[in-house]
């Protein structure tokens, strides 16, 4: 079983799932384990994990995934089996009718706008492998996570086609047929209510910002859920379970009324003054949003005032030297040469972090640069300027809501890549638990 250490992993406490019939899962494109962790926390027993990248596979094994080997087998209770390698070579038919949930975030970044417009697609698009997995194992439910960029007007027609393919995964497309032609076929199927309900899925699309669910990071994503139509799920349960819990307005209010600073009593007065001065006018706040919990900030992540995670020690300015010191937590390593310039602005402590991307440092926008509370030498009064540095891997893992005892394998570049490509476990758990409870309701009505 993937060793997620549930209590330490949670940032916002979530009740344990109710006792029930064991539910199983398969995950493709597992990466560094964020969604796998979320699905496991939600109560699903992992049967199979697949990943192609070596260092991500090493991470999964370091945290308890067991190599499956060449022989097809169903794991013992509590064991998750890892298949390394190209997903196109993985035969999953031996798991037919044994899987409740298929999960994954198929790579989609290589889509070519020009190619799609012509009816051709990049061969690295892995959504077809998700549809093949559905045909082979016929799961009760599916979770897919992907970038919000798929909703851009230029991509939207193709994205809507993907949703139709998920609705009718058993209407298989021949390689010689352009996607536009197959899309027309699927649109025709949508007008027909008859057919095998076990081969059709009800599809739901959610545009989310991870910060709205307690993740200390601005991370806009699309989450797709699908349920086999024969289950006749109760949609009201699903929508109730995935409601946002945190808001930007509530954060602003807590900063203005002082509650936020009570949780962070050591923040210098000049920092508090600067942050308060930059708040928007209170009259512009949405009062319904004020009823929610405050967005969690980068400061909340690395210097939490509650919960199981300890405050991370400060990185000393003379330790920006790539060295893992024995008195520092694992991967809490200072890195030199951080820069701030136009178009490369840093993270600030009293907001959620910027979107973590799959790069080491210096990626556009300064996503892994941090503006600290420390004043730069020679800058005081109205000329205040603050010192900055690169965020450590451990700090980035915190804003992704990975637990401190989750082992990341590989050099710094690969650890950052795994984190940037991952689903924040806290966000994934919200949607995995919603699926779990919808399936529970189906069982209870049977």
Active-site amino acid positions: 108
Strand 369-375 relative to strand 386-390: parallel, antiparallel, unpaired?
antiparallel
Among 425, 46, 398, 15, residue whose Cα is nearest residue 241? 15
Residue ranges of E strands in 139-282: 141-147, 201-209, 220-228, 246-247
Strand 81-84 relative to strand 66-67: parallel, antiparallel, unpaired?
parallel
Q: Are 218 and 353 in contact (CB under 8 A)?
A: yes
Q: Helix or strand or coil: residue 353?
A: strand
Q: Phi/psi at 404 (nearest 5 deg)?
A: -65, -25
Token duo for residue 232: 């006749």
Interatomic CA distance for residues 441 and 445, integer angstroms: 6
The residue to which tokens 């949930």 are assigned: 101
Q: Phi/psi at 329 (nearest 5 deg)?
A: -60, 155
Interatomic CA distance for residues 228 and 200, integer angstroms: 6
Interatomic CA distance for residues 52 and 74, integer angstroms: 21
Residue 49: its H or E element: strand 44-51
Token duo for residue 441: 């309701």
Q: CA-CA-CA-CA torsion for 297, 303, 304, 310, nearest 10 degrees?
A: 150
Burial of 318 (0-12, 13-18, 19+ CB in 10 A): exposed
Among 59, 43, 98, 23, residue whose Cα is nearest residue 419? 59
């Amino acid at each position: 079983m993937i060793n997620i250490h549930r209590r330490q992993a949670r940032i916002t406490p979530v009740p344990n799932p109710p006792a029930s019939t064991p539910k199983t899962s398969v995950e493709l494109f597992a990466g560094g384990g964020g969604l796998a962790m979320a699905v496991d926390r939600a109560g699903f027993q992992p049967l199979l994990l697949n990943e192609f990248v070596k260092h991500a596979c090493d991470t999964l094994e370091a945290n308890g995934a067991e190599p499956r080997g060449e022989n097809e087998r169903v794991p013992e209770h509590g064991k998750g089996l890892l298949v390394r390698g190209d997903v196109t070579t993985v035969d999953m038919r031996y798991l037919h009718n044994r899987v409740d949930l298929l999960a994954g975030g198929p790579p989609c970044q290589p889509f070519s706008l020009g190619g799609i417009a012509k009816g051709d697609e990049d061969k690295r698009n892995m959504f077809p492998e998700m549809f093949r997995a559905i045909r082979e194992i016929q799961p009760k439910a599916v979770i897919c996570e992907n970038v919000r960029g798929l909703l851009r007007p230029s991509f939207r027609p193709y994205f809507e086609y993907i949703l139709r393919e998920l609705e009718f995964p058993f209407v298989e497309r021949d390689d010689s047929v352009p996607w536009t032609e197959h899309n027309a076929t699927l649109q025709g199927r949508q007008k027909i209510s008859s057919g095998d309900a076990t081969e059709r899925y009800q599809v739901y699309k959610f545009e989310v910002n991870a910060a709205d669910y307690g993740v200390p990071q601005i991370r806009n994503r699309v989450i797709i859920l699908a349920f086999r139509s024969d289950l006749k799920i109760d949609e009201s349960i699903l929508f109730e379970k995935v409601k946002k819990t945190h808001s930007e307005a509530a954060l602003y209010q807590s900063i203005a009324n002082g509650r936020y600073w009570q949780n962070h009593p050591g923040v210098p007065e000049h920092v508090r003054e600067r942050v308060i001065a930059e708040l928007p006018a209170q009259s512009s706040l949405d009062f319904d949003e004020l009823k929610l919990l405050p967005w969690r900030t980068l400061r909340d992540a690395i210097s939490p005032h509650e919960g199981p995670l300890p405050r991370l020690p400060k990185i000393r300015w003379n330790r920006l030297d790539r060295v893992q010191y024995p008195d520092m937590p694992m991967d809490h390593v200072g890195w030199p040469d951080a820069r701030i310039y136009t178009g490369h602005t840093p993270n600030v402590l009293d907001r959620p972090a910027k979107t973590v991307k799959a790069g080491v440092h210096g990626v556009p926008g300064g996503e892994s640069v941090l503006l600290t509370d420390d004043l730069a030498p020679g800058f005081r009064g109205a000329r205040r300027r603050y010192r900055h540095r690169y965020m450590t891997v451990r700090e980035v893992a915190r804003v992704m809501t990975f637990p401190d005892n989750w082992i990341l394998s590989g050099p710094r570049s690969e650890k950052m890549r795994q984190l940037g490509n991952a689903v924040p476990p806290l966000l994934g758990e919200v949607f995995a638990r919603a699926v779990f409870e919808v399936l529970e309701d189906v069982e209870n009505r049977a």
